[in-house]
């Protein structure tokens, strides 16, 4: 990734303006591929024909910019602002976005997008440009594909891969006449599932993958997913049971290894959360989180005496800070949730020394994945909540005692 300082960016933009106005005879075309332009202010910029592929454009301001035939292939446009921007004939295939870009009043004549990005475009713009907006899931002539990446803790990796692999069987059952391939790529602890379809019906396949993630996490019934076919539902349940057996086998191996991790307790629900969230699109994750937040708000509104478990309280207070695209952050966050749930289910809700070490390790990984998140958790979320009386209303006395100790741990780490 290339860092572009403000002075250099202005120089690039001026040379590009001259290049455009002279028909390519003077100046120089803007070549901003792989450039780090996140949060840059490019309002009113003339970037027609510019090369922005693989650029980092998170929260970049393109309001009223001229982006005619600009190439954004593979760029990260998370929350980029395209308000009233001219994206006529621009290429936006294979772009990344944990959160959708802002499309208000954008000009999308002949704009080329992939199926994933198309879902983020408001309905009024889809209607307005229905005859000219182009959906093309191929990138540089490649077969249309869907990718999902999950970073597993080492002890969950093999069991997780088995659940990902089973999606190929699901596709064979649901789409027997379509040519769909599923392959798994591994890079250290990062596992990437790539789904390719020669028929080009990527949007339907992606919806099915999204629903598969919901089924794995128990948010959608297997019967509904398989449209009442009990055999397919049983086969998927058997696969999840096999994943559980792999986890139990891995636990036995861990118990024979270092005494330092001998007390680690591997949990099926941790694996389920990792896989389920990793498979779903950012929009589905956000929608599910919104439902959870609404449920919490309703619970608080009904009565100040209704309490929550530790995991419910922690998740409701922190979920908005978790970026679905940050794999390392999500992995640590999921393990923390599983550990809190384990405490909730214990007979005595007490934070042991071993628990403290585990939380410290995972909170440390969260900070590494997203620097500054622990400071935000302590001073902008938890301490404000404690001052306003939220803890007392929503946690039991034992739960509040554990949470107070966690805050002290976090304060020491900040």
Question: pLDDT category, 307, cuts 50, 70, 90?
Answer: low
Most confident range (mean pLDDT) of 76-80, 170-174, 253-257 is: 76-80
Q: What digits encode the pLDDT tens for the residues 321-372? A: 777 667 788 888 888 888 888 888 876 778 888 888 888 998 998 988 888 8
- Which pLDDT band, with edges at 50, 70 and 90, does 247 fall under? confident
Q: Please write down the long-range contacts of 101-108, taking CB distance under 8 Å and 24 or more positions apart.
A: 101/77, 106/82, 108/132, 108/133
166, 379, 388, 403 from 385: Cα distances, Å: 43, 9, 5, 12
- Residue spans of the domains in the chain: they are 1-142, 143-280, 281-413
Where do the DSSP E strands lie in 37-144?
Answer: 91-92, 112-113, 134-135
What pLDDT, on the 0 to 100 scale, is given for residue 108? Answer: 95
pLDDT at 166 over 50: yes
* Residue 137, pLDDT above cutoff 70: no
- Least confident piece of the model among 241-255, 284-298, 363-377: 284-298
The overall pTM is greater than 0.85: no
Task: Give the separation between CA 162 and CA 255, rounded to whole angstroms.
Answer: 23
> Which letter does DSSP use for residue 269 in this model?
H
- Domain covering 1-142 in this structure, CATH number: 2.160.20.80
- Digit-coded pLDDT (tens) for 91-105: 998 888 878 899 999
Asked whether 411 and 378 are in contact (CB, 8 A), the reply is: yes
Give the pLDDT mean for 246-253: 72
CA distance 414 to 409: 9
Confidence check: pLDDT of 255 > 80: no
């Amino acid at each position: 990734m290339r860092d572009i300082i403000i002075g250099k960016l202005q120089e690039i933009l001026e040379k590009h303006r001259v290049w455009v106005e002279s028909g390519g005879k003077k100046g120089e075309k803007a070549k901003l591929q792989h450039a780090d332009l996140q949060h840059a202010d490019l309002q009113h910029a003339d970037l027609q024909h510019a090369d922005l592929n693989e650029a980092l454009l998170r929260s970049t301001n393109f309001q009223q910019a001229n982006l005619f035939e600009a190439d954004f292939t593979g760029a990260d446009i998370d929350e980029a602002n395209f308000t009233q921007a001219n994206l006529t004939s621009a290429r936006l295939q294979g772009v990344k976005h944990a959160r959708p870009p802002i499309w208000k009043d954008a000009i999308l004549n002949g704009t080329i997008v992939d199926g994933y990005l198309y879902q983020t475009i408001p309905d009024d713009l889809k209607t307005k440009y229905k005859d000219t907006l182009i959906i093309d899931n191929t990138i540089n002539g490649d077969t249309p594909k869907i990718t999902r990446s999950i970073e597993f803790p080492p002890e969950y990796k093999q069991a997780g891969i088995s659940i990902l692999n089973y999606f190929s069987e699901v596709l064979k059952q649901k789409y027997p006449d379509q040519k769909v391939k599923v392959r798994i790529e591994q890079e250290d602890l990062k596992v990437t599932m790539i789904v390719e379809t020669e028929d080009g019906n990527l949007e339907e396949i992606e919806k099915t993958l999204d629903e598969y993630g919901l089924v794995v996490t128990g948010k959608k019934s297997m019967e509904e997913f398989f449209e009442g076919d009990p055999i397919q539902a049983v086969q998927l349940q058997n696969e999840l049971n096999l994943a559980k057996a792999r986890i139990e086998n891995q636990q036995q191996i861990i118990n024979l290894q270092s005494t330092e991790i001998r007390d680690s307790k591997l949990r099926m629900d941790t694996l389920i959360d990792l896989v389920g969230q990793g498979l779903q699109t950012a929009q589905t994750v956000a929608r599910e989180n919104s439902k959870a937040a609404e449920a919490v708000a309703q619970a608080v509104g009904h009565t100040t005496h209704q309490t929550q478990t530790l995991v419910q309280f922690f998740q409701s207070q922190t979920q908005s800070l978790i970026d679905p695209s940050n794999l390392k952050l999500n992995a640590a966050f999921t393990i923390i949730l599983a550990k809190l749930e384990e405490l909730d289910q214990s007979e005595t809700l007490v934070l042991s020394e071993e628990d403290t070490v585990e939380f410290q390790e995972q909170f440390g990984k969260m900070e590494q994945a997203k620097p500054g998140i622990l400071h935000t958790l302590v001073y902008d979320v938890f301490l404000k909540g404690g001052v306003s009386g939220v803890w007392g209303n929503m946690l039991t006395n034992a739960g509040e005692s554990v949470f107070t100790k966690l805050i002290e741990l976090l304060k020491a780490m900040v």
